[in-house]
Amino acid sequence: VWSQVEYLLNTGNLVSNSTLDLSQATGFTVVAEKLNFFRYLSHFRAIHRGAYFAQLRTTTVRKLLPESWGFLCPVHTPDGAPCGLLSHLTATCRVVAAPPENPEDVQQAIITVAASLGMVPAAPALAPPALPQYMGVHLDGRAIGFGAETLVPADLEVALVPYEAGGPYPGLYLFSGPARMIRPVLQLPGGCPELIGTLEQINMHISSKFMHTPKFSFQLVMDHLHAQRSFTCTSGDFSSSAQSVRHRTDAKLYRLQTPQTPIARTQRYDEYHMDEFPSGTNMIVAVLAYTGYDMEDAMILNKSAVDRGLAHGTLFKTEGLDLRDDKGKAMVRLSPLAQVRSQGVQKNEERIDVDGLPHVGTVVYPGQAYYSKVDRATGKAKTGNMKGEEVAVVDQVTIVGTADPNLQRANILMRINRNPVVGDKFSSRHGQKGVLSQLWPDINMPFVAGTGMRPDLIINPHAFPSRMTIGMLMESLVSKAGALQGKFVNGSPFQDSDGVGSTQELVKTASDALEGAGFSRLGGETLISGVTGEEFAADIYIGPVYYQRLRHMVSDKFQVRSTGPVNALTHQPIKGRKFGGGIRFGEMERDALLAHGAAYLLHDRLHTSSDYAVMDACASCGSILTPLLRPAQTTNVGAHLLASQGVPKKIGQVVCRACETGRAMTRVALPYVLKYLVTELAAMNIKCTFSITQ
Q: What integer is the mean pLDDT of 403-420?
A: 83
Q: Kindly report the backbone phi and psi dihedral angles of residue 336, in degrees, each rounded to the nearest multiple of 5, phi listed first.
A: -75, 165
> pLDDT confidence of 419, banded at 50, 70, 90?
very high
pLDDT of residue 20: 67
Domain 313-418 carries which CATH code? Answer: 2.40.50.150
Helix/strand/coil for 352: strand
Q: What percent of the chain has pLDDT over 70?
A: 82
The most confident of 18-32, 40-54, 151-165, 400-414, by mean pLDDT: 40-54
Residue of 297, 355, 496, 498 with catalytic role: 297
pLDDT of residue 214: 39
pLDDT of residue 322: 79
Q: How far is the C-alpha of 602 from the C-alpha of 608, rounded, in Å?
A: 9
Q: What percent of the chain has pLDDT over 90?
A: 36
Average pLDDT, the chain: 82
Q: What integer is the mean pLDDT of 387-392?
A: 90
Question: What sign has the CA pseudo-torsion 291, 293, 298, 300?
Answer: negative
pLDDT of residue 517: 92
Res. 132: pLDDT tops 60: no
Contact 213, 178 (CB under 8 A): no
What's the CA dihedral at 369, 374, 379, 381 to 10 degrees? 0
Residue span(s) of the chain under CATH 3.90.1800.10 come to: 564-608
Res. 300: pLDDT tops 60: yes
Contacts for 373 with CB less than 8 Å, ≥ 6 apart: 321, 323, 332, 333, 334, 335, 356, 381, 382, 383, 384
Res. 213: pLDDT tops 50: no
pLDDT of residue 12: 85
Strands 524-525 and 363-364: unpaired
Of the candidate ranges 6-10, 155-159, 674-678, the one whose mean pLDDT is the lowest: 155-159
pLDDT of residue 37: 83
pLDDT of residue 212: 41
pLDDT of residue 58: 87
> pLDDT confidence of 13, banded at 50, 70, 90?
confident
> Vertex 623, ends 621 and 625: CA angle to 5°?
140
> Vertex 529, ends 526 and 530: CA angle to 5°?
130
Q: Distance between terminal CA atoms of the chain?
A: 75
HSE-CB at 62 with a 13 A cutoff on CA atoms is 18
> pLDDT confidence of 574, banded at 50, 70, 90?
very high
Q: What integer is the mean pLDDT of 336-344?
A: 51
Contact 573, 564 (CB under 8 A): yes
Res. 55: pLDDT tops 90: no
Q: Does domain 281-308+422-549 have CATH number 3.20.20.80?
A: no
Q: How far is the C-alpha of 288 from the C-alpha of 540, rounded, in Å?
A: 7
Residue span(s) of the chain under CATH 2.40.50.150 come to: 313-418
Q: Does domain 564-608 have CATH number 3.90.1800.10?
A: yes
Q: What integer is the mean pLDDT of 680-693?
A: 93
Residue span(s) of the chain under CATH 2.40.270.10 come to: 281-308+422-549
Res. 193: pLDDT tops 60: yes
Q: How far is the C-alpha of 509 from the C-alpha of 501, rounded, in Å?
A: 11
Buried b (16+ CB within 10 A) or exposed e, 213-242: bbbbbbbbbbbbbeeebbbbbebbbbbbbb
Q: What integer is the mean pLDDT of 37-54?
A: 86
Buried b (16+ CB within 10 A) or exposed e, 450-460: eeeebbbbbbb
pLDDT of residue 443: 94
297 is known as an active-site residue: yes
